């Protein structure tokens, strides 16, 4: 790794006892992956319900392969993989790392078994901890940043484990429950307000003083016209009003490819919603139940979010507006750490911006493009973000499946505009 790459990846807030700190974080993140999968039965680990979904055991193996491929194979001279073919089976899209098993066929593999995948995880964990404990200081300084990016990578896959298994369980007529929780019901929805911002010449992006991905760099100036953001996320109740007003049939509200998408897929509600005997229900990780009108709406595509905004006479915020508005906010919200595994109603109003973090990823109106001066990391890690900067839209803020320690105001998530299976929702914006 060259010096520029180290500078980008280094997390400068790591305490002086960096080895013990990094080892503890490694153990904690890895254990959390296994905690998230502990409610599952063995049969749940192997199903791929659509191309965007990967089997749970694949996520567990792929995140393990990352440490093997980018650290152990390069830096630990005596390391030997338990099975060299795992590099073929569990690589995802790193073309420079070699051939890959086809993504849409990940669910075809009954072997390695779930037990063997867990053995693989334990094998690599033991090897990596031993490496971190015993390598000399220069080697540690070189590879600690790669371990850190591997941990953030695993946190991304922890979110995918939840969203993917939700889709897997949702297609089962038995409506399996991943996790029971007490329903949170509000007596009324907190009124939506508009929070105004003057705009002007501002800065967005990360300055590199904390861990971040290359797509968050560099910090740069952007000029914003005066704008306003809604004080909270859009709720199920508000989205139901859009449905009942025949919003899905109101062609002028829709982008051309958006209307073609919902028409071809026969979409008339968010993913997992179903109308039975005149009432709306949805499948959640907490079970199949009546829709809670006060919760933030989720599992909608960019197209649906954009059409809803048009129906309200508003628009989606740009990612620059969102980041500028979030500038001084604390990272407070409904994260995976709370173990709700679902958006929750807003119960109090801070008279400013609520729910900016957690609950649902917020669609923005910004295409996922490089910042001015963006440089992808050299080598295979350069494939992590940069090569997807086409045909994707940016989302901000994290969700109920995101770890609190993983989010930051500069974080740029991105998905194609038709994606719906993630916890995706919206906040409104308007010009002033």
Angle at 140 between CA 139 and CA 144, to 5 degrees: 125
Residue 147 CA to residue 381 CA, distance in Å, equals 12
* pLDDT at residue 186 in the model: 66
DSSP helix/strand/coil, 3: helix
**Do you find a cis peptide bond into 389, omega within 30 degrees of 0?**
no
pLDDT in tens, 131-151: 999 999 999 999 999 999 999
CB contact at 8 A, 365 and 315: yes
DSSP output for 19-52: HHHHHHHHHHHHHHHHHHHTTS-GGGGG---STT
Domain extents in the chain: 3-170, 194-431
* pLDDT at residue 12 in the model: 38
* pLDDT at residue 187 in the model: 62
Burial-class residue 34 by CB neighbours within 10 Å (0-12, 13-18, 19+): exposed
Count the neighbouring beta carbons within 10 Å of the beta carbon of residue 208: 16
Burial-class residue 48 by CB neighbours within 10 Å (0-12, 13-18, 19+): buried
Count the neighbouring beta carbons within 10 Å of the beta carbon of residue 280: 16
Beta strands in 291-337 (DSSP E): 333-334
Count the neighbouring beta carbons within 10 Å of the beta carbon of residue 2: 10
* pLDDT at residue 13 in the model: 39
pLDDT in tens, 349-397: 988 999 999 999 999 999 999 999 999 888 878 777 889 999 999 999 9
* pLDDT at residue 1 in the model: 44
Low-confidence ranges of the chain (pLDDT < 50): 1-16
* pLDDT at residue 8 in the model: 42
Q: Of 94, 48, 38, which Cα lies nearest the Cα of 69? A: 94
Q: Which CATH class is domain 194-431?
A: alpha beta
Four-residue CA torsion sign, 60, 66, 69, 73: negative
Second CATH level (architecture) for the domain 3-170 = Up-down Bundle (1.20)
> Which tokens in the block code for residue 83?
């099975």
- DSSP class of residue 233 equals P
Total residue length of the chain: 432
pTM: 0.94
Q: Can you list the alpha helix ranges (DSSP code H) found in 171-269?
A: 236-244, 256-264
Count the neighbouring beta carbons within 10 Å of the beta carbon of residue 97: 20
């Amino acid at each position: 790794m060259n010096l520029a790459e180290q500078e980008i990846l280094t997390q400068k807030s790591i305490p002086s006892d960096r080895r013990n700190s990094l080892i503890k974080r490694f153990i904690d993140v890895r254990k959390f992956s296994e905690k998230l999968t502990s409610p599952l039965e063995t049969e749940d680990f192997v199903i791929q319900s659509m191309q965007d979904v990967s089997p749970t055991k694949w996520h567990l193996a792929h995140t393990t392969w990352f440490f093997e491929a980018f650290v152990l194979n390069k830096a630990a001279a005596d390391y030997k993989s338990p099975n060299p073919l795992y590099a073929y089976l569990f690589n995802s899209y790193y073309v420079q790392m070699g051939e890959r098993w086809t993504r849409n066929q990940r669910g075809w593999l009954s072997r390695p078994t779930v037990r063997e995948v867990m053995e693989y995880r334990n094998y690599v964990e033991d090897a990596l901890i031993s490496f971190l404990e015993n390598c000399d200081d220069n080697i540690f300084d070189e590879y600690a940043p790669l371990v850190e990016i591997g941990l953030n990578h695993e946190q991304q896959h922890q979110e995918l484990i939840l969203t993917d298994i939700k889709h897997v369980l949702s297609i089962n007529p038995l409506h399996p429950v991943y996790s029971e929780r007490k329903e949170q019901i509000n007596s009324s929805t907190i009124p939506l307000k508009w929070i105004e911002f003057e705009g002007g010449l501002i800065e967005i992006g990360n300055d590199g003083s904390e861990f971040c991905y290359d797509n968050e760099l560099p910090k740069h100036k952007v000029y914003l016209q005066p704008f306003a953001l809604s004080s909270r996320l859009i709720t199920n109740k508000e989205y139901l009003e859009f449905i009942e007003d025949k919003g899905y049939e109101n062609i002028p509200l829709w982008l051309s490819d958006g209307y073609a998408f919902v028409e071809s897929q026969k979409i008339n509600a968010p993913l997992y919603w179903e109308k039975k005997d005149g009432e709306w229900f949805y499948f959640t990780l907490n079970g199949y139940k009546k829709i809670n009108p006060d919760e933030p709406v989720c599992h909608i595509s960019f197209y649906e979010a954009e059409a809803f905004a048009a129906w309200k006479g508003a628009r989606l915020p740009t990612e620059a507006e969102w980041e500028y508005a979030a500038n001084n906010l604390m990272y407070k919200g409904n994260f995976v750490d709370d173990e709700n595994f679902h958006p929750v109603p807003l119960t109090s109003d801070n008279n400013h911006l609520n729910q900016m973090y957690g609950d649902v990823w917020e669609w923005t109106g910004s295409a996922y493009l490089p910042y001015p001066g963006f440089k992808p990391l050299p080598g295979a890690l350069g494939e992590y973000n940069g090569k997807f900067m086409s045909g994707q839209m940016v989302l901000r803020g994290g969700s109920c499946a995101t770890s609190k320690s993983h989010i930051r105001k500069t974080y740029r998530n991105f998905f194609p505009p038709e994606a719906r299976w993630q916890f995706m929702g919206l906040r409104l914006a308007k010009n002033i």
